[in-house]
Structure formats: structure tokens, C-alpha cells
Amino acid sequence: MKENVSMAEKNELWTAVDSYIQQTLAKNDVALDNAMEANAAAGLPSIDITPNQGKLLHLLALATRAKRVLEIGTLGGYSTIWLARALPRGGRLVTLEREPKHAEVARTNLKRAGVAKKAEVRVGAAAESLAQMHSEGVKPFDLIFIDADKPNNAVYLDWALKLAKPGTLILVDNVVREGALADATSEDPAVVGTREMIDRIAREPRLVATAVQTVGSKGHDGFAIALVRE
């Protein structure tokens, strides 16, 4: 790459690479396209993961042979479809969504994609839903994907550990936040919540973890990945 490339040029290049990956390795099918279109038509915020990120979730669920998946933050169910499709026969996914409107759109998308029987959408504040699930004594999950309101990331991590078991993989999206993760002086609640979560991961003896920066059509971000130790 030539020197002194502008940020606009970088964004254009990152988007071009994303486009190439999506056209070759992570294609949307009709159901996934319909889900994105339905989300837009319903006025949901355009914050879904990209197709290549969805494919990554799908592959990680396959690689871990996950039978039970927990998703914290449903939106319109685009990522939910990717995860549900990785489940074997008899597999189960529970996804948590605060907004009833979003949950209804997600249910329709899941039904259209043919995975509604595998996926349960629970409506309500995620922390309350997680507490309820814990009190119900639900079986531990094999994979947990956290992609909800960022100020509460540390809260969600705490609950994820209570609903996990040795071998559970925990993924957290949007942790780099255009590099703001490195700013210890930031007063942005999303950054503060994410840094608190990262600090807790670092201190938690039950976890082995890292975080990875990404660039793409949605800019500079990244994800954290943690494995619950045996």
C-alpha cells in the first residue's frame, strides 16, 4: 500500500476486501438477504454483523460442536440465523432482545430462514433474562455470543460465566471501538463498560482469552474471545 493513504482511501479498500470475501467465502443466501431487508424496512438500526463475521460465528459454532448457544443481543436475528444453522439436530439457541419490536422482526426472520424451531427469542432487559435463566437452572451453553448494549458488557460476562461450563467459548463483539478501547481516560459508557469487561477477563482464572482487531466495511473494531478452562 502506498504511503500517506487517507482514511477515506483505507475505508474504501477495507470495504472492497470485505466485498470480495463476502462474494467468495461468505455469501448471503435468500433468507439472510431477506432478513437484512426486513430489518431495514422495520427501521432497525443498521448495526448487524457483516456476512463474513456471520460466517465466522457459524464456523466457530461448528468447530466447537456447539449444541447449546446463547446470544445476548438479537436485533433482527441476522447473526442468530448464522448461529442456528450451525446447530446439530436437537441443538438449541436462546437469544435475548430488549426491544419487543426487534424481537418480533427476528422471529419472522428466523421462521422464514427455517430455524425457528431451534431458536427461542426471549424479550426483556438482558441482565434480567440472564438472571431468570440462571434461576431456572438451564443447562450450560457451549458457545455464548455477547453483542448487546456495551456499557453492560461486564455484567453480561459475569452472567455468561454462570451459564457456562469448562470448554464453553465466549465471544464479545465490538470491543475495539475505533481504537477507543486503548483510551483509559475515555468517559464513553460503551468504552468504559468494554474496558471493565476486558479487565475482568484478564483477572478471571477460569478464562484463557485474547482480543483481535478487525478492519472492514464497518471501520476499525474487533472482538474478544475467551475459553472457559477445564
Beta bridge pairs of residue 102: none
Residue 1 has pLDDT above 50, yes or no: no
The least confident of 13-17, 73-77, 209-213 is 13-17
pLDDT of res. 7: 77
Residue 2: pLDDT band by 50, 70, 90 thresholds? low
The grid coordinates of residue 63 equal 468447530
Q: Left, alpha or beta for 203 (phi > 0: left; psi -120 to 50: alpha)?
A: alpha
Residue 186 CB-density burial (10 A; 0-12 exposed, 13-18 middle, 19+ buried):
middle
Question: Which domains does the chain carry?
Answer: 7-228 (3.40.50.150)
pLDDT tens, residue by residue, 90-121? 999 999 999 999 999 999 999 999 999 999 99
Q: Are strands 68-72 and 92-97 parallel, antiparallel or unpaired?
A: parallel
> Considering the chain, what is the average pLDDT of its residues?
95
Residue 220 has pLDDT above 50, yes or no: yes
Q: What percent of the chain has pLDDT over 70?
A: 98
What residue type is assigned to position 21 of the chain?
Answer: I
Q: What integer is the mean pLDDT of 166-170?
A: 98
Spatial separation of the C-alpha atoms in residues 106 and 103, rounded to whole Å: 5
Query: What's the whole-model pTM score?
Result: 0.95
